[in-house]
Structure 1
Amino acid sequence: MEILENDSRILCGSPTVVEVFQKVFAELIGSYLLVFAGCCSVVLNNSEKTKGQITFPGVCIVWGFTVTILVYSLGHVSGAHLNPVVTFSLAIYRRFPFKMVPLYFISQILGSFLASGTLYLLFEVDDNSYFGTRPAGPVVQSLVFELLATFILMFVICAVSTDKRAIGKLGGVVVGMAVTVDVFIAGPVSGASMNPARSLGPALVMNVYTGFWVYIVGPFVGAVLGATCYNFIRETDSNTL
């Protein structure tokens, strides 16, 4: 019994456990800040008291800049996935351990939920200033936009993070620019979620699930396709695909 207790203490205090906790906590913080900043810009732009002050281009820039900031702040700790579909796609192509996927999923969703709850407490959110995502038109149209927007995002992420030919120091800027472009083109149609956690947090807090399946299916399919396509053109050696 004493040996088991000693082993337990060693395991709980081991560098591996500490490192896992740091990664998961970094994802939670990053997801919180991403959803809080991005969704806050949506609320401020659509609220009756501050309507139009941010502007739609401003909302796009906030999302893109926030991603860039978080990539450089947390990328060296957790990889700054901040998105379940990014975590899942990287795991499929052995760029991330599958055993960590559930922990990342939980931290990303929890971060989004807490950020959404914060916004709900800070603002009087009505139908116009709702900061979640829902189709603006036909559901199929939003599905296609979510798929394509996430495809672009994941394709770019794979390019700057898995290919040694890419210039790594500019990775955060490029990913942030991809998010900005995606929000510009998909925002008016689907809300440009590209992230199931980003959509789930506001949906849970506000109890709004209109077309929610679009923000699960579209991003997951788009991300896997984006990672798959880049995997075909990524530089390889004789031992890897």
Structure 2
Amino acid sequence: MKRYIAEVIGTFAMVFCGTGAMTINEITGGAVTHPGVAITWGLIVMAMIYAFGDISGAHFNPAVTVAFAYAKKFSWREVPKYVMAQCIGAIIASSILLFLFPASEELGATLVAEGFEPYRAFVLELLLTFFLMLVIINVSTGAKEIGIIAGIAVGSVVLLEAMFAGPMTRASMNPARSLGPALLSGNLQDLWLYLTAPFIGALLAVVSCKLVKDEQCCDEGC
């Protein structure tokens, strides 16, 4: 039970701070700034990995959880419970942001930039998650993101991708992170791509890991 609670709290903190920065930036006309939003995402992910990495593995992302299971580093039986915990955390975070900032129309929802076709956004989100999972699986111990290296590496890649891709797709890389704001703000138009592309990208990262590393690289305990 402690692992699931950790995933709820960690995902809550991540979505609350990350989309909270986006929400405040929206209602203040850019006070936080785009770099400020990207830095917020990177720092909160880093902090939550340090806080909960040794308890739940600090997944905070359904795509990461599924990819770890596919890599044989995590039990498939635990996947539904982790995904549910992550979605609950994200929805609670968005609910509180709605209460705090009712003037917001987006609540940090992942929306495709005007003029950027959804199918291009799908490919971009797939690639962003691919790079994220590639880093995660190579710095993690089993299915746990723990240690100084994991926190810095994963937080940095989140910051990097949010910095350059945020203006186009909001750089979700995380179905739970997209689900919460979409449900509470009513911005459901592009949700389908944010619920599918990250899973594909994360699974491709595991496949690539198997191609370039030892044959047993994705067995439990490696």
Alpha-carbon contact 1:113-1:202 (below 8 Å) kept: yes
Counterparts of residues 41-120 of structure 1 (less than 5 Å): 41-47=21-27, 50-120=28-98
- 2:202 is paired with a residue of what secondary structure? helix
Moved over 4 A (4+): 235-241
Aligned mate of 1:132, from 105, 109, 132: 109
Instruction: Work out the percentage of aligned pairs sharing the same amino acid.
Output: 39
Return the offset for 1:104. Answer: 0.3
Q: Does structure 2 conserve the Cα–Cα contact (< 8 Å) formed by 1:159 and 1:234?
A: no
Aligned partner of residue 171 in structure 2, secondary structure: coil
Q: Does 1:144 align with 2:127?
A: no
Structure 1 counterpart of 2:86, which letter? Answer: Q
Output one character per residue of 1:5-26: Cα deviation in whole Å (capped at 9) or x when no partner: xxxxxxxxxxxxxxxx000000
Quote the Cα distance in structure 1 between the aligned partners of 2:92 and 2:150. 28
Q: In 2, Cα distance between the equivalents of 1:155 and 1:38?
A: 22
In 2, the alpha carbon distance for the partners of 1:76 and 1:236 equals 27
* Separation of aligned partners in 1, 2:108 and 2:188: 13
Q: Which blocks of at least 5 consecutive residues in structure 2 are unaligned?
A: none
After TM superposition, give the deviation of residue 237 of structure 1 in Å. 5.6
Is 1:170 aligned with 2:157?
no
TM-score, L = length of structure 2? 0.91
Where does residue 99 of structure 2 map in the other structure? 121
Deviations 1:56-110 (A, max 9, x none): 0010000000000000110000000000000000001111111110100100000
Check whether the contact 1:156–1:175 (CA below 8 A) recurs between aligned residues: yes
- DSSP 3-state at the match of 2:150: helix
Q: What's the CA shift for 1:145?
A: 1.1
Q: Which structure carries more relative contact order (alpha carbon 8 Å, separation 6+)?
A: 2
TM-score (normalised: structure 1)? 0.84
Q: Is 1:63–1:179's contact at 8 Å kept on the other side of the alignment?
A: yes
Report how many residues are paired: 215
Secondary structure of 1:23's counterpart equals helix
- Shift of residue 53, structure 1, vs aligned partner: 1.6
Counterpart CA distance in 2 for 1:203 and 1:232 is 36
Residue of structure 2 in register with 1:228 after alignment: 207
Instruction: Decide whether the 8 Å contact of 2:65 with 2:79 is kept in 1.
Output: yes
1:26 aligns with 2:6: yes
The offset of 1:234, in angstroms, is 3.1
State the shift of 1:238 in Å. Answer: 9.8
